[in-house]
Structure 1
């Protein structure tokens, strides 16, 4: 039992810290930093082109650029959206798909393109404007780079480069306005390039720099990303922006032809990431990971006929280019390709593979010396990646006690001092004897093995971390169970000393191992949790646990076992709900219909039939929302309907809820009228703003200011004026109306109706659990099994069988609050309040929308605790213990192989599962604070029994 409120808080704090810290294990286990230092540079002896122009269409999808009739939903749309780029593919260039990796965000995408490396997945949390690593890039290796575009991308390459190496021209951040025509940003980039070349005609120093070999020009075109977020990719605005980009590419070529009057420029056109149907990116959605790649100019081969078997698939069939070869690459390969074209050193952390390494497929280069140059490039590529492996190999060897090299280098020829040297020598010999095809073939196989070896070293500690993580989560389950179930008298016996000694010894041994291996500081923290949890669980358990079970559960253990099986099955169904949203609907159907039919006592069903009907109706109505498509258009009817439903509930609450004195009644009605007034004006303003945005008039500053005032005042008012201190439902109504405003300002469709239905279901859940507990108390009294009076003290509460079910229900409502509609991450509604690009403020508004249902859950859960007379957080601790069955499943499902959709989903699901419980704990704490002083229900139950 939970003997004191202090022990509850201690257990809760330990659990929260543990779950928060262990979110980082997935990155330490599967994704370590790709950066190493002290590496040697390699490059080709000669360049194919004097200069390079890199054009990145930020957020450009390959299919929408290349497909014939790609915008059938737009009236009178042309057959070819980008005729100039298409003519390049058909007459003088090479093309393919560049496959990106998660996170499909602008910064990691540009790092892969220009630095040739894939960031640690967790690096996306570091923001847009800071360097994720000690940077090296193609820009830094060039003689000079002239870059034009967004202030969110360009500065990180300038900061990481040699001083003065990278020059940049950025527009102001305020220009990134989602309510304006974003093509102006792209036109600005072209204008700045034109001005630079014009200035060089009168500036001899600038002219000399521009004409130097190994010069790079970078045009970052952000307009497509901004337009896609605002209007979604399948819109006429996105189509028009592609046409603008196509024209910019055409004019850029003309500018270089006029200025240089030669054919020594190589052009690369690609994108950092794509965009999903709803205008978002970041995850592993295939529409986010497939970007176009088009190369032409000096050193680049022209179009080739398609191969046998065909290089095309169902995805590229609509392009109308199946007669031409499609040569796909990984995104980091582009950096190697650019390095080879202008003859600069490969970036030191590059893991890209030059497409021309593979002799069985055409590459992209049109080398001056033909296949000889391709073979030499393959050799350079092999040396770059081998150098990467060697540095990590020697570092791991020096730090590890029982180090085992990667199997290929363990058994291949070569020296211990220089692993892989024999392969390099073999490739060099093949080139020397003119066996270029064989040299490339050998280099291809060697690079593949070296990359596998590099991955092996980057995940060298995976098995160790996996074992620690699983031991920790199982230990938490054991620790939580013994802390909640066992009586206080079983804590801390004289036999506990061996357990303390054993736990301390294990920690000391692991810390010594980590010190030797120079492991990350997080490893030292990870090992503390399983040792502490198992130590405490074993100290509390043993003989006292057996006696406790024997005393409280004489006879068969079939009942507890069957209940445990049902709980595990329920939790695993929640795991499946992360990928199959219909499972949440099935849950509502089960608890709304089957649970009352098969679990409620018949006396409760007959006496409280109105409550039963209301419960079933609310569950079935809430079950509709997970079945709705997550791909929705802005729907003012749905937004207005949600607002009307909230308004009607508020009016009904004012009429129904009663208070013991006039002053409290007056305060409640005053606050309620203010909240209803805020809701009413909000829905009116949102209708005006949405219509203005659809007509591309932008958001009126007056409307935006009034909107912020309404949004903040309505949301904060229930916290400032704490109405209904004697009536918990009055407080709940205040928070419901106050947070309902965000489902007017930030909703895209029917989220407001979901919020109403979800909140009503929670309120009825409280009533049902109270009725069932009251019935149980009365039945126990009638059979002479009354609990001692002291057991009605919340601080001496002993868990009941129903508490396990209530905890599972709570976990279900936690998950549904997040996954109920699937529409929480649309950006269009955010533009009503924040039209200028501000990622952190926009993210804060989206988070506020996610928080709102949790506030209602927290308040209702606090009311439930009070009605059942339970210690605060007691049921949440049961839920926190149970949820690690889900967390272990998600952790074991994490992968870093397969499609990037699968990789992104497995990581996201583990992090979401962990964060939801940590988040819910904080919300429940807020709920206890917000509902402090509410009447508790134990005395009511005792009076009815007596």
Structure 2
């Protein structure tokens, strides 16, 4: 009962620590209650047409062919003669939802959106669509609804195609864009016959939004350098040219329409997005029409990148913006208030208007951001004791009043340039002030959580010491180090305080050394390779080589082979089905070799042999065939074969059941679990990562054997033979031995291998920017939740392999799982405390996401290991007997 209580309490404590960073670092910055700001001058445009080519890279759009011709003749002509152009810098994650929120609402999606999967609005927010008189939108069902749901009233209309159309295996994904263009043409044709709609269309402050998803889908399916992707760019250009012609004709060429063409994010050369490479964060921006500056010559401009010359645009003025700046630009063009939560700054170089209009627009922009600052300050002031409240120094209430008065006076006096500079400075200060009040309570809450960490870790250490007070190995080590230090100081005739200074770091640095290499591996995956090379020499240093040279050689080779994986790239890998097939063959060979080598020591029953035969000769081989067949079919543009899809899902589901049908003998059950997991992993692999589970499992099997040798070398009693060890056997509590120094090493090895299981073939970027081809055996129609779940299980499979190995070591070494788990708890909590101080909520989304992920991974590891230990215990020790009810065995 005490163990259950400790488990529940520990789980709750770590859940609190886990949730704490979201209350400390990642509460939503959005506030409500601001007043919309209007520009008291007539806008230049009555309507706006927004084209967003989802997944379009800047270089793919701007770069001409080798012969100098362009794939976008219409938009190229706009750039050279009629409009302004530049690069829109997006933020990470470069995904569709946060990109469109930045474009249309003017702010960068906060972390709370992750909890909703970027499908629902976590908080209500304002947008250009909401501020418009009417907005008509066409495109994806994943993007359009979130702006309609967030709108007040019923003036945002959506027209989307069925979600099933977003199929990565379609023969031509550009049909998604063709659908949009056809629907818009039909819409204007119908409007000529509908007087009510015709009247609405001729009102001012209207917006038309065309979301073009074909490029993103073709980029995922065929890569951005493919003919399909490049042809799709040409189709988009031709479609936009036709829509512009129809719009101009419909409104009688009244020169009152503004046009903006851009993208929500780019794409890597291997067809993914979500991280922060330039190919993902640099997107095109072209604006023309009413109120937009015409093309300008400028041969004196200089940029850090070398794109201008490559794009043949070095003589045309280029104006770059942040993605959130496009929202205030659209608002200014049609004369609607800038979205209330926008943090974008109006790019004046895109406007073709008077200086008074620019000054008034910038003034409205600064007041709009200042309004957010005022609400934020008021909220914090109301929830803080008056004598503890410290206002943001640069923007006190008097400073705000002075700005409003001075800016207004400068505009009224016609000193527009000075007014603009004053507004820009105030915007910068207001943004800093928003951050100041948003992080006001951070240090207080952070200190409280740190005290909780220290208290909990100290309690766990005391529990370990209380349970194993007679642990002599650890004590002898500390005594030896302390004695050596003392003798050295005595020889030096050092003062007595020197003894304290020199002896204190011994236990501290002992603990720090255990976690140092693990912490460093979160930032540099190559450190795992260094760690594995160091671990390879463990049997030699510990003297285990003399007992079993063959296992020592196996350990060294397995460590060195596994050390290769952290050195491989995690993104940008081209699919290589041959490597996946090699991984399947390697698994078949390993399993067959084991069954042959143990046929006399631990013969299997006929039914167990049938299960192994089914797994080894059928499932693994069949999965390799299904993967090859699926990718071949997709390359031929024949889609995902239904039979392959059924086999893939059946394999995934059966992988949770088949191991429970096999023998509970240690190696037999482990092999059954491994074969089931690897079968699913193969279906989710596209290249060299498929080799990771077979190599990892080889090392795990050697680890189990070599730990048995280490235990026997210490003179400890052990069971007869590992091959006869049964997971379902009950352990005699009288045989549970005391904790030894080797058990701390075992726990450290376990934590190291858990980290290796995650970072061996991936990292944060690989999750943010995974290749959709990994799930093509299961589905090709875009479904973020199912795809995310499949990728998460792929990530967890190596974890389960390591967990089952650790369960085997606990059984074979006759050590209480509670004791080993407590040591693991201390190590992981020390790592978590380190990453707690490294969490940041500033910089790019990649920086923020990486800092969150590191803390979340370590904290989740503790919580996750608690839960996963129950799952692996069931997976290893329980057995389903066909035709009879399940027999429940408890150790």
Contact between 2:624 and 2:682, CA under 8 Å: does it hold in 1? yes
Partner residue of 1:336 out of 321, 328, 341: 328
User: 1 CA distance for matches of 2:176 and 2:640?
Assistant: 19
Partner residue in 1 for 2:772 = 827
Q: Deviations over 1:845-883 (max 9, x none)?
A: 111211221221111110100111111243232122112
Aligned residue in 2 for 1:939: none
Q: Determine the structure 2 residue equivalent to 1:120.
A: 110
Partner of 2:575: 634
Q: How does 1:542-941 map to 2 (within 5 A)?
A: 557=482, 565-592=509-536, 594-598=537-541, 600-601=542-543, 604-630=544-570, 631-658=572-599, 665-676=605-616, 677-713=618-654, 715-721=655-661, 723-725=662-664, 727-777=665-715, 793=733, 797-822=737-762, 825-932=770-877
Say which SS state the counterpart of residue 931 (structure 1) adopts.
helix
> In structure 2, do the counterparts of structure 1 residues 640 and 61 end up closer, same or farther at CA, with 3 Å as the change threshold?
same
Shift of the 644–306 alpha-carbon distance from structure 1 to 2, 3 Å rule, reads same
> Cα distance 1:771–1:248, how it changes in 2: closer, same or farther (>3 A)?
same
Query: What is aligned with 1:469?
Result: 449
**Cα drift, residue 430 of structure 1:** 0.2
Q: Judge which range, 461-470 or 14-23, deviates more.
A: 14-23
Report the 3-state secondary structure (helix = DSSP H, G, I; strand = E; otherwise coil) of the residue aligned with 2:409. helix
SS of match in other structure, 2:605: helix
- In the TM superposition, what are the counterparts of 1:416-431 in structure 2 within 5 Å? 420-431=400-411
Paired with 1:92 and 1:675, the residues of 2 have a C-alpha distance of 66
Aligned to 1:24: 19
**Deviation per CA, 1:709-754, whole angstroms, max 9, x where unpaired?**
34433x1343441x222x2100000011111112321111122221
SS of aligned partner of 2:877: coil
In the alignment, is the contact (CA less than 8 A) between 1:43 and 1:340 conserved in 2?
A: no
Q: How does 1:140-539 map to 2 (within 5 A)?
A: 140-180=130-170, 181-262=172-253, 263-306=255-298, 310-311=302-303, 313-314=305-306, 316-356=308-348, 363-367=349-353, 370-401=354-385, 402-410=388-396, 414-415=397-398, 420-487=400-467
Cα 1:8/1:833, change in 2 over 3 Å: same
Contact 2:113 2:121 (8 Å CA) reproduced: no
For 2:707 and 2:802, locate their aligned partners in 1 and report how far apart those are by CA, in whole Å.
15
Task: State the shift of 1:634 in Å.
Answer: 1.2
Equivalent residue of 1:217, what SS?
Answer: strand
- Kindly indicate whether the alpha-carbon contact (under 8 Å) linking 1:659 and 1:665 is maintained by their aligned counterparts in 2: no
Change (3 A) 1:917 1:104: farther
Number of residue pairs matched? 836
Partner Cα distance (2:561, 2:427) in 1: 57
Q: 1:243 to 1:558 in 2, by over 3 A?
A: farther
SS of the counterpart of 1:716?
coil
Q: 2:37 aligns with which of 25, 36, 42?
A: 42
Question: Counterparts of 1:895 and 1:43 in 2: how far apart (Å)?
Answer: 35
The separation in 2 between residues aligned to 1:678 and 1:893, in whole angstroms, is 44
- Using the TM superposition, give the Cα deviation of residue 182 of structure 1 relative to its aligned residue in structure 2, in angstroms: 1.4
Distance 1:87 1:430, change over 3 A: same
Q: Cα 1:563–1:35, aligned 2, differ >3 Å: closer, same or farther?
A: closer
Q: Distance in 2 between matches of 1:310 and 1:635?
A: 42
Partner of 2:487: none
Aligned-partner SS, 2:85 = strand
Q: Answer whether contact 2:91 2:844 (CA < 8 A) is retained.
A: no
Q: Which residue of 1 aligns with 2:883?
A: none
Whole-Å separation in 2 of the counterparts to 1:286 and 1:901? 12
Given the superposition, is the C-alpha separation of residues 147 and 712 from structure 1 closer, same or farther in structure 2, using an over 3 Å criterion?
same
Q: 1:669 to 1:688 in 2, by over 3 A?
A: same
Give the corresponding residue for 1:3. Answer: none
Q: 1:273 Cα deviation (Å)?
A: 1.9
Rate the CA distance shift 1:573–1:63 in 2: closer, same or farther, 3 A.
farther
- The verdict on how the C-alpha distance between 1:100 and 1:391 changes in structure 2, with shifts beyond 3 A counting, is same
Looking at structure 2, the residues matched to 172 and 376 of structure 1 have their Cα atoms a distance apart, in angstroms, of 44
Partner of 2:159, secondary structure, is strand
Once structures 1 and 2 are overlaid, which stretch shifts more, 168-177 or 102-111? 102-111
Tell me the equivalent position of 1:514. Answer: none
Tell me what 2:495 maps to: none
User: What does the per-residue CA deviation read over 1:166-207, in whole Å, with 9 as the maximum and x for residues that have no partner?
Assistant: 111000011111101211111101111000100011111111
Deviation at 1:236, TM superposition (A): 2.6
8 Å CA contact retained: 1:270, 1:292: yes
Bigger mean CA offset, 46-55 vs 885-894: 885-894
Note closer, same or farther for the CA distance 1:170–1:550 as it changes in structure 2 (3 Å cut). Answer: closer
SS of residue paired to 1:42: coil
Within 2, Cα distance between the matches of 1:209 and 1:922?
A: 58
CA contact (8 A) 2:28 2:112 kept: no
1:555-607 alpha-carbon deviations (Å, 9 max, x no partner) = 75379965753552342222222232222112111111x32332x12xx3122
Deviation for aligned residue 1:552: 9.9
Work out the CA distance in 2 between the residues paired with 1:549 and 1:879.
Answer: 16
TM-aligned CA distance change 1:374 to 1:104, over 3 Å: same
SS of 1:97's partner is strand
CA separation of 1:44 and 1:124: change in aligned 2, threshold 3 A: same
Q: How far does residue 816 in structure 1 lie from its aligned partner after superposition? A: 1.0
- Counterpart of 1:84 in structure 2 is 74
- Structure 2 length as normaliser, TM-score? 0.89
Checking the alignment, whether the CA contact within 8 Å between 1:151 and 1:170 is kept in structure 2 is: yes
Secondary structure of the residue that 1:926 maps to in structure 2? helix
SS class of match (1:844): helix
- Hey, what's the Cα distance between the residues in 1 that align with 2:309 and 2:744? 54
- Displacement, 1:487? 4.3
Kept after mapping to 1: 8 A contact 2:133/2:204: yes
Return the offset for 1:900: 4.0
TM-superposed deviation, 1:646: 1.0
What's the offset of the Cα at 1:665?
Answer: 1.5
Tell me how large the CA RMSD over aligned residues is: 2.7
- Matched residue of 1:269: which SS? strand
8 Å Cα contact 1:58/1:271 also seen in 2: yes
Seen in structure 2, the aligned counterparts of structure 1 residues 147 and 704 have a Cα distance that, compared at 3 Å, is same
- 1:126, distance to aligned residue in structure 2 (A): 0.3
Distance 1:326 1:894, change over 3 A: farther
Tell which deviates more after alignment, 242-251 or 218-227. 242-251
Tell me the distance in 2 between the aligned counterparts of 1:804 and 1:86: 66
Q: In 1, are the aligned partners of 2:630 and 2:776 still within 8 Å (CA)?
A: no
Say whether the 8 Å CA contact 2:223–2:229 is kept in structure 1: yes
Measured after TM superposition, the shift of residue 467 of structure 1 is: 1.4
- Native 8 Å contact 2:623 2:683 kept in 1: yes
How far apart, CA to CA, are the structure 2 residues paired with 1:151 and 1:794?
63
Change (3 A) 1:650 1:210: same
What aligned pairs does 1:124-139 form with structure 2 within 5 A after superposition? 124-139=114-129
How far apart are the structure 1 equivalents of 2:652 and 2:628? Answer: 15
Offset from partner CA, 1:636-686 (integer Å, 9 cap, x none): 210110011111122223323359998x61121111111121112222222
Instruction: Indicate conservation of the 8 Å contact 1:625/1:820, yes or no.
Output: yes
| Whole-angstrom distance in 2 between the partners of 1:682 and 1:324 | 55
